[in-house]
């Protein structure tokens, strides 16, 4: 596989679960053990119950496109346009939203309300979460 | 004494440099020009200024970029002697105003010089700088951008466009409705000698303009520029007999958000921090949206202005498209004249302080050919995403 023309995040102790967790084929999001609240991006305490029993948990990887744009501007050298940038809301909790791309879904098929599922693009130890029409 | 300290403060002076689309004058020099103009406009001298505030926090030695004039550098150039200064963030572009109000309430200062200095044409644009940084194998900037750059989303145009699609789809708002904003603002800019773009355009030209990122064409994106705006915020008692009548700061609001670290985590998405700023502002005054005579609302991208109209309660949730449709209501002679100087879409991205400056001109009756009759109350709203600030200004009664 060729090197993806993407910038890749700095991996830290705080975000490794998200960027590298896809090695098992599943998306991982922080969750409060006692109250079940999902939290993204990372935080040290649960914003609902203030508890500290927060740890990464696998989620279904299913969600819905709640907003998107078809970008035509060539911001980044060597990245072909147009391409879709979308906000996906995970089915587990409505305020867990990820900005993402849908590279394998035809642009004309992307719409608000589109059900999607996660897949991963490996790059070294990183498994970049991307989405496609479910 | 009122509980809300801003009512004991005012804007006593305003100043603005020339505005350039191409690199022409070193931006730090423009900032000093604007600061001197604001002090003179107030009828004060440098010796009267005992506080200073700018946004964003700007490193000493900066002469261009998003922040082209630091507090220490302005102090050095003007020979200021301060009791207090602050470049903290709490209300986006309007942070200096809220910080100045707090400083005056605390007794730290009587006359606070506030500025916003842009030198965006001397450095790569924000989007291209972020994109260039993203070319590296691993990003060097952790945090919020970490979650965006891997997805080829270096520009706020993209982030805002995603929010816009949610809102416009939900409420059936069309590009034709949204287009009334840039069209009306360009007409206003024709009456503003300082505006970068002054030639009017119509709906056909708007709809066929070059697409940047749906639903935003180039005419929906503001114009990066070089320029600076300064205001003096004064203790009202200390400003009663100055050169110009004081413009009272009736209420302020800060966008505090339920998460400040991301644009995406709000429970009320696609609402933004501006909704918190507007709510806080109205909670501090007896005035109501219907009392606003002119509105000066952030237009980094056109949809942000629609969202501000709803956040301020000028119209209902989802009704901003119908509110601006056709442009009659927001024109200079309409019910609510909007961005009377042409806004950032036409005048240039003076980054919030352009809106503030214009609001003061309108309240003073100094807006020249674009003056709206009998302006008593003006609303200023700045910022998008996790940034939001609002100020309500009024004539001294």
Mean predicted confidence (pLDDT) in A27-43: 96
Same CATH topology for B5-124+224-239 and B153-222+250-397: the answer is yes
Identify the pLDDT of residue B136: 44
For helices B27-42 and B71-78, what crossing angle results, to 10°? Answer: 60
Query: A-B interface: how many C-beta pairs under 8 angstroms?
Result: 130
Whether the per-residue pLDDT at B134 is higher than 80: the answer is no
User: Is B74 within 8 Å of B117 (Cβ atoms)?
Assistant: no
Mutation for testing the A interface, residue in B139, B145, B152 having most A CBs under 10 Å: B152
Pair of tokens at residue B220: 């929906």
Structural domain contains residue A11? no
For residue B215, cis peptide bond before it (omega within 30 degrees of 0): yes
Whether the per-residue pLDDT at B325 is higher than 90: the answer is yes
Identify the pLDDT of residue B211: 98
Identify the pLDDT of residue B267: 92
Identify the pLDDT of residue B2: 76
Structural domain contains residue A3? no
Structural domain contains residue A65? yes
> Residue A87 and residue B162: Cβ atoms within 8 Å?
yes
CATH class for domain B5-124+224-239?
alpha beta
- Percentage of residues in chain B with pLDDT exceeding 70? 95
> Residue A10 and residue B135: Cβ atoms within 8 Å?
no
Structural domain contains residue A4? no
pTM: 0.96
Q: pLDDT averaged over chain A?
A: 94
**Alpha-carbon span B325 to B65, nearest angstrom:** 36
- Percentage of residues in chain A with pLDDT exceeding 70? 97
CA distances from residue B100 to B43, B160, B315, B361 in whole angstroms, order as listed: 19, 30, 31, 20
**Domain boundaries B153-222+250-397, corresponding CATH code:** 3.40.47.10
Spatial strand order of the sheet with A54-59 comes to A38-39, A27-32, A54-59
Q: pLDDT averaged over chain B?
A: 95
Rg (CA), chain B: 20
Q: Where are the domains of chain B?
A: 5-124+224-239, 153-222+250-397
Mutation for testing the B interface, residue in A63, A67, A98 having most B CBs under 10 Å: A67
Structural domain contains residue A9? no
Whether the per-residue pLDDT at B304 is higher than 90: the answer is yes
Mean predicted confidence (pLDDT) in B57-68: 94
Structural domain contains residue A61? yes
> Residue A85 and residue B154: Cβ atoms within 8 Å?
no
- Locate the DSSP E strands across B111-215: 111-119, 211-213
Identify the pLDDT of residue B124: 78
- Residues in chain B with CB shorter than 8 Å from the CB of A79 are 152
Query: Does residue A79 sit at the B interface (CB-CB below 8 Å)?
Result: yes
User: Is B16 within 8 Å of B77 (Cβ atoms)?
Assistant: no
Whether the per-residue pLDDT at A131 is higher than 60: the answer is yes
Identify the pLDDT of residue B140: 55
Give the residue numbers spanning the domain of A117. 16-133
Whether the per-residue pLDDT at B239 is higher than 50: the answer is yes
* Least confident segment among A5-9, B84-88, B147-151, B364-368: A5-9
Burial annotation B363-395 (CB, 10 A radius, 16+ → b, else e)? bbeebeebbbeebebbbbbbbbbbbbbbbbbbb
> Is the ipTM value over 0.90, yes or no?
yes
Identify the pLDDT of residue B331: 98
Query: Does residue A85 sit at the B interface (CB-CB below 8 Å)?
Result: yes
Whether the per-residue pLDDT at B208 is higher than 90: the answer is yes
Query: Does residue A86 sit at the B interface (CB-CB below 8 Å)?
Result: yes
* Least confident segment among B118-122, B171-175, B286-290: B118-122
> Residue A79 and residue B150: Cβ atoms within 8 Å?
no
- Pick from A12, A72, A128: CB nearest B211: A72
Q: How many structural domains does chain A have?
A: 1
**Alpha-carbon span A75 to A77, nearest angstrom:** 7
Residues 6+ apart with CB under 8 A from B204: none
Residue B221 to chain A, least CA–CA distance (Å): 12
Instruction: State the pLDDT confidence band at B133, using cuts at 50, 70 and 90.
Output: low
> Residue A72 and residue B163: Cβ atoms within 8 Å?
no
- Percentage of residues in chain B with pLDDT exceeding 90? 89
């Amino acid at each position: 596989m060729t090197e993806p023309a993407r910038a890749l995040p700095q991996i830290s102790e705080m975000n490794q679960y998200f960027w590298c967790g896809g090695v098992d084929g599943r998306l991982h999001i922080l969750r409060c053990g006692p109250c079940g609240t999902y939290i993204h991006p990372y935080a040290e305490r649960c914003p609902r119950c203030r508890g500290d029993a927060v740890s990464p948990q696998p989620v279904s990887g299913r969600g819905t496109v709640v907003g998107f744009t078809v970008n035509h501007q060539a911001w980044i050298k060597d990245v072909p346009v147009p391409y879709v940038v979308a906000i996906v809301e995970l089915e587990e909790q409505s305020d867990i939203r990820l900005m993402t791309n849908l590279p394998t879904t035809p642009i004309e098929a992307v719409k608000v309300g589109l059900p999607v599922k996660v897949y991963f693009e490996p790059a070294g130890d990183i498994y970049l979460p991307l989405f496609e029409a479910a | 004494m009122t509980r809300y300290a801003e009512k004991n403060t005012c804007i006593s002076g305003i100043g603005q440099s020339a505005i350039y689309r191409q690199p022409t004058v070193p931006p730090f020099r423009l900032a000093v020009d604007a600061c001197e103009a604001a002090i003179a406009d107030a009828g004060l001298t440098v010796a009267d200024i005992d506080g200073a505030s700018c946004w964003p926090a700007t490193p000493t030695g900066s002469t261009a970029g998003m922040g082209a004039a630091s507090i220490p550098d302005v102090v050095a150039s003007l020979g200021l002697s301060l009791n207090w200064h602050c470049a903290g963030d709490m209300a986006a572009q309007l942070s200096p105003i809220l910080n100045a109000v707090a400083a005056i309430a605390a007794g730290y200062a009587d006359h606070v010089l506030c500025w916003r200095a842009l030198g965006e044409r001397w450095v790569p644009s924000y989007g291209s700088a972020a994109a260039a940084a993203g070319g590296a194998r691993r990003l060097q900037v952790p945090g919020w951008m970490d979650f965006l750059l891997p997805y080829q989303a270096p520009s706020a145009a993209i982030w805002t466009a995603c929010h816009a699609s949610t809102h416009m789809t939900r409420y059936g708002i069309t590009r034709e409705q949204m287009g009334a904003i840039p069209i009306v603002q360009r007409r206003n800019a024709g009456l503003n000698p300082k505006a970068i773009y002054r030639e009017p355009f119509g709906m056909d030209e708007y709809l066929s303009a070059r697409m940047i990122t749906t639903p935003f064409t180039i005419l929906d994106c503001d114009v990066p520029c070089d320029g600076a705006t300064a205001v003096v915020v004064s203790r009202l008692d200390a400003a009663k007999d100055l050169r110009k009548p004081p413009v009272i700061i009736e209420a302020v609001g800060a966008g505090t958000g339920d998460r400040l670290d991301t644009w995406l985590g709000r429970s009320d998405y696609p609402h933004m921090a501006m909704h918190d700023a507007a709510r806080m502002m109205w909670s501090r005054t007896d005035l109501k949206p219907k009392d606003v005579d002119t509105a000066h609302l952030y237009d980094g991208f056109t949809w942000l202005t629609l969202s501000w109209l709803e956040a301020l309660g000028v119209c209902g949730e989802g009704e901003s498209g119908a509110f601006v449709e056709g442009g009659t209501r927001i024109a200079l002679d309409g019910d609510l004249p909007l961005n009377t100087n042409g806004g950032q879409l036409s005048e240039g991205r003076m980054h919030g302080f352009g809106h503030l400056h214009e609001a003061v001109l309108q309240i003073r009756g100094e807006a020249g050919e674009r003056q709206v009759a009998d302006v008593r109350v003006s609303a200023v709203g700045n910022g998008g995403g996790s940034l939001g600030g609002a100020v309500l200004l009024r004539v001294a009664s």
